[in-house]
């Protein structure tokens, strides 16, 4: 029977070892894989490392290191567990793996860079388990979400589903701007609120619902009307804005302010059985004024108070807005910048229209210091459903 020493020397004979200096030379290009136990990892690791304890290596590595030909530097505390891990990785078909001799202890003794990793609590690990299973999100992505700030304009039909899903996903800070009170006629679609909250401020009701759903989320309530006097202060510091407003003056105000602050806006609009979603990403894609340079004259804008809407529709459009917001926060996939998706509920069809930046746009083609933050007349939203001209 082989002893431990025999197994270790067999493993070391079959793998490549590098010293700490050679490993350090691979920072930035190679994937560093820490195979120590969670309590060792939590006290410090090499910045940017992936952590998979040795005992979970076979089951987890293929979900975390997708490319079998990727350059991988495995390390543990002293170089023994990483030697066995490197052998296992070769057996799993990884072709470019080295084990770091001396391990993290030698690395640290030689004063090479290390840091205490941020990590999720046990409750968070359980709550976000289905995110952690996605290699595209994982613990690093979840920590990123917990660190991000999204501003919701409106706690109404679009803001409700967006707020619920962003809160459930663990976006750490949600700002909510709304100056209305909950009315029973809102409950047909505004699912943040309920019968007990009729007559309450919408921002207070939103805060209660979100906090009950996920105590990780810090809710910042703005019980105020968004205007030229406060828009720049309110949106400052947010990573993404989810636009659930229903009127032209606010959309133009928001557009111009978001250009100044360079904050992407996830746009949503609903009318009867039709909805639209897009992303206005300042100076990356078109802005709202590239589509509609100026608000339409008042006589062409129907009153939004009288327009009907099927209650499920904002649920669909607001959920798409939440998804686009998460993609922007994590840098996942292709955002809707430069595209407008139009949903027709009666046909059950989604149509995508390409939109380009207008070189003559009155907002995003001029120098930033010429952008004027001004109020428009109080028109209501006609929800342009026709595809944009370009």
| Positions in the binding site for Zn ion (CB under 5 A) | 287, 289-290, 361, 363-364
- Is 341 in contact with 320 (CB distance < 8 Å)? yes
Shortest separation between residue 347's beta carbon and Zn ion, angstroms: 30
Residue 73 to residues 76, 93, 173, 182, 386: CA-CA distances in angstroms?
10, 15, 36, 56, 54
CB nearer to Zn ion: pick between 163 and 290:
290
Q: Which is nearer to Zn ion, 192 or 235 (CB)?
A: 235
Q: Whole-number minimum distance, CB 350 to Zn ion, in Å?
A: 24
SS3 at position 374: coil
For residue 276, the surrounding DSSP H or E stretch is strand 274-280
Give the 3-state secondary structure of 308-321. CECCHHHHHHHHHH
Minimum CB distance to Zn ion smaller for 117 or for 264: 264
Instruction: Using alpha carbons, select from 75, 82, 101, 98 the residue that is nearest to residue 20.
Output: 101
Tell the smallest beta-carbon distance from residue 235 to Zn ion (Å): 17
With respect to Zn ion, which residue has the nearer C-beta, 299 or 360?
A: 360
Distance between CA atoms of residues 6 and 14, nearest Å: 13
Q: Among residues 225 and 368, whose Cβ is nearest to Zn ion? A: 368
Nearer to Zn ion, 151 or 337 (CB): 337
Question: From CA 22, how far away is CA 25, in angstroms rounded?
Answer: 5
Task: Assign 164 to helix, strand or coil.
Answer: helix
Alpha-carbon dihedral sign for residues 267, 270, 273, 274: negative
Shortest spacing between CB 229 and Zn ion, in angstroms: 24
CB of 367 to Zn ion, least distance (A): 13
Q: How far is CA 313 from CA 147, 202, 203, 259, in A?
A: 30, 20, 22, 29
Closer CB to Zn ion, 74 or 363, in the complex: 363
Minimum distance, C-beta of residue 294 to Zn ion, in the bound complex (Å): 12
Compute the least distance from the CB of residue 202 to Zn ion, in Å: 31
- Of 258, 206, 203, 207, whose CA–CA distance to 231 is shortest? 258
């Amino acid at each position: 029977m082989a002893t431990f020493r025999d197994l270790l020397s067999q493993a070391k004979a079959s793998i490549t070892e590098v010293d700490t200096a050679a490993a350090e030379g691979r920072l930035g290009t190679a994937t560093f894989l820490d195979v120590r136990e969670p309590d060792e990892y939590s006290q410090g690791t090499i910045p940017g490392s992936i952590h998979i304890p040795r005992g979970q290596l076979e089951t987890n590595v293929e979900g975390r290191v997708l490319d079998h030909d990727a350059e991988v530097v495995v390390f543990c505390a002293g170089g023994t567990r990483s030697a066995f891990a490197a052998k296992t990785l070769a057996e799993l078909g990884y072709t470019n793996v080295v084990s770091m001799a001396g391990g993290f202890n030698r690395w640290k003794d030689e004063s090479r860079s290390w840091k205490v990793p941020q990590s999720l609590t046990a409750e968070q690990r359980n709550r976000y388990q289905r995110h952690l299973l996605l290699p595209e999100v994982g613990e690093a992505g979840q920590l990123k979400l917990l660190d991000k700030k999204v501003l919701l304009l409106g706690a109404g039909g679009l803001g409700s589903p967006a707020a619920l899903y962003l809160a459930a996903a663990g976006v750490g800070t949600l700002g909510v701007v709304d100056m209305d009170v909950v009315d029973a006629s809102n409950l047909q679609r505004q699912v943040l609120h309920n019968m007990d909250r009729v007559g309450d401020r919408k921002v207070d009701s939103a805060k209660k619902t979100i906090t009950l759903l996920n105590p990780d989320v810090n809710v910042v309530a703005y019980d105020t009307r968004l205007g030229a006097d406060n828009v720049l202060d309110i949106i400052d510091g947010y990573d993404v804005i989810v636009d659930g407003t229903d009127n032209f003056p606010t959309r133009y105000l928001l557009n111009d302010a978001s250009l100044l602050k360079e904050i992407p806006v996830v746009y949503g609009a609903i009318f009867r059985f039709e909805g639209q979603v897009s992303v206005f990403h300042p100076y990356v894609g078109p802005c709202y004024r590239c589509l509609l340079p100026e608000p339409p004259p008042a006589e062409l804008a129907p009153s939004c108070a009288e327009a009907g809407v099927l209650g499920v529709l904002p649920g669909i459009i607001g959920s798409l807005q939440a998804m686009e917001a998460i993609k922007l926060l994590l840098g996942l996939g292709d955002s809707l910048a430069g595209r407008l998706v139009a949903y027709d509920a009666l046909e059950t069809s989604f149509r995508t229209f390409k939109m380009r930046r207008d070189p003559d746009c009155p907002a995003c083609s001029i120098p930033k210091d010429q952008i004027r933050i001004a109020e428009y007349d109080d028109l209501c939203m006609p929800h342009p459903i026709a595809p944009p001209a370009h």
